[in-house]
Structure 1
């Protein structure tokens, strides 16, 4: 008979049965208490003399699944309106939410505000005292260490692995995916096979021009050109790994349709991350969660030689490596740092996951790295009011309009994010409504998720929607009628919207209340076109590379929607290839 193992999605589990391993009180309010008489310590920790848990808590997770089943299986039994076992986060460890010695906490609540109950749960995530080092610090070896397991980190690791390197990915969060997991709209790329199949005429030069104009010409031209020039091959690379990027739409600042996403317009980020996770798993790449790099190590000549890691359970240890790649993202979830660079954004909500605090930038500057464009912080115009949920720009791209409290349009909905955000902040209540109809809803699969999250108000008619929103009905009717006329004549005389794919004529009519929120940091570590991190003296730091949001220069003053995933994959591939050249001593 199979032994009953420590519960569904258990976490932080049973590190050591002593007070030195605990920050919160042991026993009460934990899964240990719930499982008394039903399970033994060995069910999670093994039967050896040494009671321990790996930092990623993978061994404990197997115990949870062995008793309770997989997330997919558990999802079939969940009765909640929002199913916690089926989400965009994908296949994650049970221990991301369920803890053994501290109160359990729903990881989703870092971003959402659901009234979710969890066995042995607490009001917030419990903190745990760092594991103590016993004896001499252990040392391991790798060819390449990648800091951060988002799209840039996975791409870097897979590229380096496939070139023959031994790779270790270090991720401080209990799950992988980073901000990339939340990316919704799509991935910009020019001259792709999918554009050609649809008869879309685009060019590298046009994508480069759009990127530079959108960034206020503050972009590093060489980096912006690499983004555009390599974008199609990045789509090809993802496709070769199993990704579906066959749907092509448009987002703000683009001159043509070049935003690639899965068929039907599904969210791009979760799809790509799940593809990258699978490919990393198939390659057996060493991924360590609940582990934080606290120091980049250099030799006397300034060459990077490895990192010091603080493991949740294992404590501090060193990994010697010939190349280190920082892919830890930006700092939009660090409100103090955001306010330091942009005081006017103090107190503004963020759409980012909790790990986006700028740690990678700090690690780089600690070894002399230069930074670029740190004050360039993007606020996204459409974060659902009262939440941290980003309403993808693709909703506007597929035909939705922005309407103020007076029931009137006030901006070109496909302008750049900085201009759209400024326009919303100038309206009554510093907010707006994203208005669309059943036709727009059916054109973009991910819109269904906003209904599921209860973010949408609706009406059988335009007047019915106006009543639900408490805006002037005559004004809203006139606004939609004028917009539909602009669609028919293909000319938006009032706001110069360049693309109006469909009229708003199909009942029902819908609206989502939105406000701007901190979304993206364009600044970060200064890099070369080979993803080498540049020191303050203008020279690359030997052995140190970076890719993704934690680097500066690609986007300038403002990132175009769809350019982020393109950046992470393109520069992740470059960083992985450059790191391997460093390992092999190739110049």
Structure 2
């Protein structure tokens, strides 16, 4: 793995970036620390899916001076955690598989799911541009090659990577590769603190990092900071009944963009609409993708009984689970469902799934009455066979769940998505409370409100970030072109390899050693090479860690170990379990080398 080194006129900071080649961004004259102001045409705040999409689209549309600010140590935001897929209507893939879908039906499903609180015009834009969004992802190196069923959809509409792999890591990797190819600087561990507006138009962004404070003078800003699902105080402020809930959000989802927007008098919409995801492991906060249910899984309570049509919208299923004994349920599936969805392997590796050769054996493991669970599974198999679910009205039952082995995972609702945020129009311009737009300010993704209404359908978030991210990028580029054209970049990208070297004498015996540590996705195996008494190479030879997240840990932790010749080094924020796994694996490996 490599690093991104950004040296600007105001700062010099080394920051790792997942999936990107090493870069150096220098001031035009190569000097550092002489000036406190930088220049850019467009500043994108947030390097999640929406932000990176906007930056790429702006560059593809001709913008030549785009800079991305990201407060976390890696790109990806909540997007990297997305497992399901992208909803899109009337696509080529649907047509090939004989699936009849339309923009109108996608609008109808989205409005119904959002309890008609959605902004209809934004929903129309979402649906009308969804097919092109799939094409854009695939044309830029992504993989949306399969289509399946998800809760709240009338037809198979969710587009997924091959084999049902998680969509988030694929998408973030694709976006990062395009960011690198287009030479767009991404300033990690750099926090935007204020959007500067003068005479009703954007003129700059104030930001800071460990090197200090600085200002980027710019013509346009794309706000893509995500939601506030990881800010417990902010969640309770807007929805008190969610106090004490866990969250599926990454640590950086703290509502920073909404706070900055409020200072500008921006209107907020649907801010109290906060969605819980129904199937989250309550101890580890691991989210079971909706595709598990979409591919055939059912939910049973602690009595071993079904209690809901599992493909109802997330709010309905969440409420139903909370009404069960202890407010939890088990997601139950068979070998056939497991074989059809790669995402399940992560849950298996993490040790949060029970498994047995028989239904009776599974019942014993999860502590429910074997006779009741057997009857539940038998009744469901008959319903799936006949195509009629007399108990709960589930219409998509392609699997009878009769293929051993049998699996179950404990789950309960957790805070997942904040539907509310800053108000935008169909051009993604940010609107003030008086209805006027702030010239040059655009927004996309979870920081905005209006698209999802009272409840987001699974698969619509990825559509949201790509569709509106692209629109924001295009319109930001057009705004710059229409208002004085491009400025000369003060942050330039130069490719530069960075290889760690020992700074102390390790005193190890030469050789190649292996060790294993427990990571987020299971065991992480490393191969450690010692030459001249020092650790000179650490390679991850086998693991199931999440792409787009583990790379940052791999880079930072491995380089720190090589430099210090010790495993007593810091973990990477946002990838703590992977970091600890690498450190423990190396420590085990070098025991013999002592």
Unaligned runs of 5+ in 2: 23-31, 485-594
**Does the CA contact (< 8 Å) of 2:3 and 2:21 recur in 1?**
no
1:544 aligns with 2:441: yes
1:472 aligns with 2:369: yes
TM-score by length of 1: 0.78
Shift of 1:53: 8.0
Corresponding residue number in structure 2 for 1:316: 213
Deviation string, structure 1 residues 74-129 (Cα, Å, up to 9, x no partner): xxxxxxxxxxxxxxx76799xxxxxxxxxxxxxxxxxxxxxxxxxxxxxxxxxxxx
**Does the CA contact (< 8 Å) of 2:15 and 2:187 recur in 1?**
no
Q: How many residues align?
A: 473
2:319 aligns to what SS in structure 1? Answer: helix
Root-mean-square deviation (CA), in Å? 2.2
Shift of 1:158: 0.5
**Does the CA contact (< 8 Å) of 2:423 and 2:450 recur in 1?**
yes
Distance 1:385 1:140 in 2: 45
More strand by share: 2
Shift of 1:366: 1.1
1:144 aligns with 2:42: yes
Shift of 1:279: 0.7
Corresponding residue number in structure 2 for 1:415: 312
Distance 1:285 1:389 in 2: 32
Shift of 1:10: 11
1:307 aligns to what SS in structure 2? Answer: strand
TM-score by length of 2: 0.77
Distance 2:2 2:325 in 1: 45
Corresponding residue number in structure 2 for 1:277: 176
**Does the CA contact (< 8 Å) of 1:460 and 1:508 recur in 2?**
yes
Deviation string, structure 1 residues 494-542 (Cα, Å, up to 9, x no partner): 1111211111000010000001000000000000000000001101111
1:328 aligns with 2:286: no
Shift of 1:245: 0.3
Distance 2:3 2:232 in 1: 30
Shift of 1:277: 0.3
Shift of 1:367: 1.3
Shift of 1:302: 1.9
Residues 156-175 of structure 1: pairs in structure 2 closer than 5 A = 156-165=54-63, 166-175=65-74
Unaligned runs of 5+ in 1: 1-7, 12-43, 62-88, 94-133
Residues 382-531 of structure 1: pairs in structure 2 closer than 5 A = 382-531=279-428
2:462 aligned to which of 553, 561, 565: 565
2:269 aligned to which of 350, 368, 372: 372
Corresponding residue number in structure 1 for 2:92: 193
Corresponding residue number in structure 2 for 1:266: 165
2:259 aligned to which of 362, 372, 382: 362
1:55 aligned to which of 7, 10, 13: 13
**Does the CA contact (< 8 Å) of 2:11 and 2:33 recur in 1?**
no
Distance 2:428 2:460 in 1: 17
Distance 1:480 1:450 in 2: 22
Corresponding residue number in structure 1 for 2:195: 296
**Does the CA contact (< 8 Å) of 1:56 and 1:174 recur in 2?**
no
1:347 aligns with 2:347: no
1:264 aligns to what SS in structure 2? Answer: helix
Corresponding residue number in structure 1 for 2:551: none
**Does the CA contact (< 8 Å) of 2:275 and 2:416 recur in 1?**
yes
**Does the CA contact (< 8 Å) of 1:160 and 1:579 recur in 2?**
yes
Shift of 1:385: 2.2
Structure having greater relative contact order (Cα 8 Å, sep ≥ 6): 2
**Does the CA contact (< 8 Å) of 1:338 and 1:345 recur in 2?**
yes
1:217 aligns with 2:116: yes
